[in-house]
C-alpha cells in the first residue's frame, strides 16, 4: 500500500480547527486538496504538526477517517499513533488502521522512563499487532530520548520497522541510518525520511528517501519543486529553493516568547498562513496554546509575501 521505499514529500498535515476547537472537516479536505495540488507524495496525519498531542481520541479518529476517505487511494495516508507507551499506542493502531491508514508512525515511549531494550520491545509489540507497516518517529524534543541508529537498523532487519521519520535535527545520526540501510541488502525498501524542514536538500544529498516537512502545509509546491530539482540533478536550484523555504520558515518565530511557547508560535504561524492563503477557515490552534496577536499574524503575511505566496 505504501511504496518501498516511500519517497518525495509527505507533509505532516495540519489539523484545521473551528473557533470552538472542533476538527474543521471541510477545511481539512481543502487542505488535503491544496497539498495534492502541490504535488505531494503522501499524507502524514496525526503527527506533531497535526497537533496530535492536543487532539482527543474522537478527534483523532475523525481526522484519519476524513483523510483516508478524501485521499481515496490517490495517495498513501500515514497516521501517527502517538501515546506514552505500548498498550495505549496499540489502541491508536487499532483506530487508525480500522479507518484505513496505510502505515502507522510511532515514537518511542515517553513520560515513562525507558531503555533501548524496552524501546525495541515496544516496536516489536506494535508490529505484531499492526496490519500495516510501522514507521519509527524520532523526535527527541518531544520524547526526550534519541532513537539509536543501531536500534532502528536492527528492528528494520527484523522486519519490525519499514521506515524512519527523523525529526532529531542530527544529520550525522541520520546518515548512519542511511548508510546502514544501503550496506545491508536485507534492508532494501526501508524508507529514511527527514522531518527537518530546513535541511531537506542536505538530507537528500546524504541519501534520504524523502521529507516530512511541517512547512509543506504552507508551501507544498515549494517542497515538491525542491525534491524534483534535487532528483533531476540540479542541486544548486534545489538549494536556492530550500533557502527560499528557510526564509519562509522564519514565520515560526513571530510569536512573542514572553507570551507563548514555540509550539503556539510555529503552529499558529502555519495555520495563520493557511488562513491567509484561503485554504482553511479559521487559524485557531488547540488549547492550551496561545493565539497569535493581529500584529503577529500580519508578520506571517509578510513572510508569505516575501516568498511570493500572497
Q: Annotated catalytic sites, by residue?
A: 137, 165
In this chain, which of 67, 82, 96, 156 binds a second copy, going by CB under 8 A? 82
What is the C-alpha separation between 45 and 43, in angstroms, rounded? 6
Per-residue binding string, a second copy, 33-72, x by CB under 8 A, is ---------------x----xxxxx-x-------------
The size of the chain, in residues, is 310
- Residue 119 as a binder of a second copy (CB under 8 A): the answer is yes
Q: Is 101 left (phi over 0), alpha (psi -120 to 50) or beta?
A: beta
Nearer to a second copy, 176 or 281 (CB): 176
- Residue 143 as a binder of a second copy (CB under 8 A): the answer is yes
Nearer to a second copy, 144 or 188 (CB): 144
Contact status, residue 170 vs residue 199, Cβ threshold 8 Å: no
In this chain, which of 18, 85, 237, 293 binds a second copy, going by CB under 8 A? 85
Nearer to a second copy, 66 or 114 (CB): 114
Contact status, residue 136 vs residue 123, Cβ threshold 8 Å: yes
- Residue 213 as a binder of a second copy (CB under 8 A): the answer is no
- Known binding residues for pyruvate are 49, 212
Coil/strand/helix, residue 60: helix
In this chain, which of 25, 36, 157, 198 binds a second copy, going by CB under 8 A? 198
Least distance CB 115 / a second copy (angstroms): 3
Nearer to a second copy, 74 or 231 (CB): 231
Contact status, residue 96 vs residue 130, Cβ threshold 8 Å: no
State residue 103 phi and psi, 5-degree precision: -160, 160
Side-by-side strand order, sheet with 163-166 = 8-9, 210-211, 191-194, 163-166, 134-138, 103-107, 77-80, 43-45
Rule CB under 8 A: which of 222-261 touch a second copy? Answer: 235, 239, 243, 246-247, 257, 259-261
- Residue 282 as a binder of a second copy (CB under 8 A): the answer is no
Q: What is the DSSP letter of 277?
A: T
What is the C-alpha separation between 201 and 277, in angstroms, rounded? 26
- Known binding residues are 49, 212
Nearest 5 degrees, angle CA 80-CA 86-CA 89? 30
Number of residues that bind a second copy (CB under 8 A): 64
- Residue 146 as a binder of a second copy (CB under 8 A): the answer is no
- Residue 21 as a binder of a second copy (CB under 8 A): the answer is yes
In this chain, which of 18, 39, 118, 228 binds a second copy, going by CB under 8 A? 118
Least distance CB 71 / a second copy (angstroms): 25
Coil/strand/helix, residue 18: coil
Of the candidates 147, 155, 47, which has an alpha carbon nearest to the alpha carbon of residue 103?
A: 47
The cell for 47 is 503527527
The cell for 23 is 476538527
Query: Which chain residues interact with a second copy by CB under 8 A?
Result: 21, 48, 53-57, 59, 82, 84-88, 90-91, 109-115, 117-119, 121-122, 125, 141-144, 169-172, 175-176, 179, 196, 198-199, 201-202, 205-206, 235, 239, 243, 246-247, 257, 259-264, 286-290
Amino acid at each position: 500500500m505504501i511504496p518501498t521505499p516511500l519517497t518525495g514529500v509527505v507533509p505532516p498535515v495540519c489539523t484545521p480547527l473551528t473557533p470552538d476547537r472542533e476538527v474543521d472537516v471541510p477545511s481539512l479536505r481543502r487542505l488535503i486538496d491544496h497539498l495534492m495540488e502541490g504535488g505531494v507524495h503522501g499524507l502524514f496525519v496525526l503527527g506533531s504538526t497535526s497537533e496530535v498531542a492536543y487532539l482527543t481520541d474522537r478527534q483523532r479518529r475523525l481526522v484519519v477517517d476524513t483523510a483516508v476517505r478524501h485521499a481515496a487511494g490517490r495517495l498513501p495516508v500515514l497516521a501517527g499513533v502517538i501515546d506514552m507507551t505500548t498498550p495505549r499506542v496499540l489502541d491508536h493502531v487499532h483506530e487508525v488502521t480500522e479507518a484505513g491508514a496505510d502505515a502507522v508512525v510511532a515514537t518511542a515511549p515517553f513520560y515513562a522512563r525507558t531503555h533501548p531494550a524496552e524501546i525495541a520491545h515496544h516496536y516489536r509489540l506494535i508490529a505484531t499487532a499492526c496490519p500495516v507497516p510501522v514507521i519509527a518517529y524520532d523526535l527527541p524534543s518531544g520524547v526526550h530520548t534519541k532513537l539509536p541508529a543501531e536500534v532502528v537498523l536492527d528492528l528494520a532487519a527484523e522486519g519490525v520497522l519499514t521506515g524512519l521519520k527523523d525529526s532529531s535535527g542530527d544529520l550525522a545520526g541520520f546518515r548512519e541510518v542511511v548508510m546502514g540501510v544501503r550496506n545491508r541488502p536485507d534492508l532494501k525498501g526501508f524508507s529514511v525520511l527527514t522531518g527537518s524542514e530546513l535541511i531537506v536538500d542536505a538530507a537528500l544529498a546524504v541519501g534520504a528517501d524523502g521529507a516530512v516537512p511541517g512547512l509543506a502545509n504552507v508551501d507544498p509546491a515549494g517542497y515538491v519543486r525542491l525534491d524534483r530539482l534535487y532528483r533531476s540533478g540540479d542541486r544548486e536550484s534545489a538549494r536556492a529553493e530550500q533557502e527560499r523555504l528557510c526564509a519562509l520558515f522564519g514565520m515560526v518565530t513571530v510569536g512573542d516568547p514572553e507570551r507563548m511557547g514555540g509550539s503556539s508560535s510555529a503552529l499558529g504561524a502555519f495555520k495563520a498562513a493557511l488562513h491567509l492563503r484561503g485554504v482553511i477557515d479559521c487559524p485557531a490552534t488547540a488549547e492550551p496554546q496561545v493565539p497569535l496577536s493581529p500584529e503577529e499574524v500580519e508578520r506571517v503575511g509578510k513572510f508569505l509575501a516575501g516568498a511570493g505566496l500572497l
